């Protein structure tokens, strides 16, 4: 095998053979295929696509590049969830302990934020003492004792994907749906979960901007999971407006605890329960009632045990940013639009996110929302509060907010669309 012949096959719209795929993934992981050659192949895949057979083999080759985990020793069925990323998407935080409280085990391998989308690990690291990095043995121990664990994927899990993702990020090939699907699913399948629910975000604050692309991605990932023996279903969910009333690390943890305490924003509660029901059904527990587990405090109990088991103090005060700036409503009327991307960009510029993976984040930075689309607002009332430790960032963060919302005259009819747009199984 040689890299040039593999590149030419896909460049000329041909189908890569299983042998070509196995060889190129292995050779790239070992360093015998150069970055410039793999970036050329990734661009050819972006432009010409892959069929289901190719994507399945590509995913299998990335899984084979590292270790595979197993949860066979657990007495509970396993269920995991993956979100493609959004703004204010704190759902994993209340969801994992909620599903565990209903009888499933939740091995949640999560990531960090990059750009305008937040990262679950960054949010949880705002809790004093909490650790994201666990060994496989520690992960299994926390999962066995509490029913849920949220942690970073180890270096041994699909190392080919880690290397390829970094390359795609700097070569303009992140958008290739076959590579997105195989990147997500290689880690989830290698993780060893028995069932998986995918939350594929759609809208301005999501990676997939329209339903057609989201359906293609969701269908591809569901097929990959199913073909690998993982019970997989996907929900397409709206990300045109931020989820909840916060976008930022400690801000979102605080809101998640409110949900676990039986309160919290209605949209966060609705989506958390919808995903919980899908996870429990996929895990073979369709009769479990996640709404009851929220109401009776059992989900909160699991949360506290899970945070403590990973070194965190569930009673500790969360970080608060030193500086605030309030954005007021410029007119009275009905708020008809609050753009997720613009809010996420502002939160990122305030210090809640990072431009590069090695950049630090501010735990207390972010944006707090005081109204959502459909609410009536009055000129001069607080619409958004910006939080940061570095007030010199306020002007930079305010730029995208100048076009982030629309206010229509009082009495304007407004209909809120559904959060769950479609289901793929």
Whether the CB-CB separation of 196 and 231 falls below 8 Å is answered with: yes
What distances in angstroms separate CA 398 from CA 326, 344, 383, 403, one per listed residue? 10, 12, 13, 10
305 noted as active-site residue? no
370 noted as active-site residue? no
Q: Which of 80, 89, 122, 161 is catalytic?
A: 161
Q: Which of 168, 188, 201, 277 is catalytic?
A: 168
Q: Which of 10, 57, 82, 349 is catalytic?
A: 82
161 noted as active-site residue? yes
325 noted as active-site residue? no
Q: Which of 65, 83, 126, 183 is catalytic?
A: 183
Give the C-alpha separation, 320 to 32, whole Å.
Answer: 48
Strand order in the sheet with 376-377: 376-377, 333-338, 405-408
The Cβ of residue 313 has, within 10 Å, a number of other Cβ atoms equal to 13
Instruction: Give the pairing type, strands 376-377 and 333-338.
Output: antiparallel
Give the C-alpha separation, 205 to 240, whole Å.
Answer: 6
Q: Which of 187, 201, 231, 387 is catalytic?
A: 187
187 noted as active-site residue? yes
What distances in angstroms separate CA 45 from CA 13, 61, 63, 114, 218, one per listed residue? 9, 16, 19, 23, 18
Whether the CB-CB separation of 394 and 400 falls below 8 Å is answered with: no
Query: Any idea which residues carry the catalytic annotation?
Result: 82, 161, 168, 183, 187
């Amino acid at each position: 095998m040689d890299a040039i012949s593999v590149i030419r096959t896909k460049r000329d719209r041909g189908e890569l053979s299983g042998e070509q795929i196995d060889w190129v993934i292995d050779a790239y992981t070992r360093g015998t295929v150069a970055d410039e050659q793999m970036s050329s192949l990734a661009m050819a895949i972006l432009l010409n696509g892959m069929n289901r057979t190719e994507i399945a083999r590509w995913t299998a080759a990335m899984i084979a590049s590292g270790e595979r985990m197993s949860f066979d020793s657990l007495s509970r069925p396993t269920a995991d969830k993956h979100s493609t990323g959004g703004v204010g998407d704190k759902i994993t935080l209340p969801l994992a302990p909620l599903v565990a409280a209903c009888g499933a085990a939740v091995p949640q391998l999560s990531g960090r934020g990059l750009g305008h989308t937040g990262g679950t690990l960054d949010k949880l690291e705002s809790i004093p003492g909490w650790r994201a990095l666990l060994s496989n043995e520690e992960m299994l121990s926390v999962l066995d004792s509490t029913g849920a664990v949220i942690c970073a994927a180890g270096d041994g899990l699909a190392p080919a994907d880690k290397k390829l993702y970094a390359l795609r990020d700097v070569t303009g090939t992140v958008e290739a749906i076959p590579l997105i699907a195989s990147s997500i699913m290689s880690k989830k399948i290698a993780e060893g979960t028995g069932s998986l629910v995918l939350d594929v975000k759609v809208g301005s604050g999501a990676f997939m901007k329209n339903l057609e692309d989201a359906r293609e991605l969701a269908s591809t990932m569901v097929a990959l999971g199913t073909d690998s023996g993982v019970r997989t279903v996907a929900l397409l969910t709206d990300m045109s407006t931020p989820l909840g009333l916060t976008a930022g690390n400690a801000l979102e943890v605080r809101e998640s605890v409110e949900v676990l305490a039986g309160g919290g924003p209605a949209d966060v509660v609705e989506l958390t329960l919808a995903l919980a029901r899908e996870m429990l059904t996929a895990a073979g527990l369709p009769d479990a009632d996640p709404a009851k587990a929220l109401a009776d405090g059992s989900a909160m109990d699991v949360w506290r045990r899970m945070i403590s088991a990973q070194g965190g103090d569930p009673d500790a005060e969360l970080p608060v940013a030193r500086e605030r700036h309030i954005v007021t409503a410029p007119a009275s009327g009905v708020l008809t639009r609050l753009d997720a991307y613009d809010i996420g960009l502002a939160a990122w510029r305030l210090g809640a996110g990072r431009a590069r993976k090695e950049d630090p984040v501010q735990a207390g930075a972010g944006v707090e929302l005081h109204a959502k689309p459909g609410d009536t607002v009055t000129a001069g009332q607080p619409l958004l509060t910006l939080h940061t430790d570095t007030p010199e960032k306020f002007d930079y963060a305010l730029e995208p907010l100048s076009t982030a919302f629309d206010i229509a005259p009082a009495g304007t009819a407004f209909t809120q669309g559904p959060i769950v747009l479609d289901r793929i199984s």
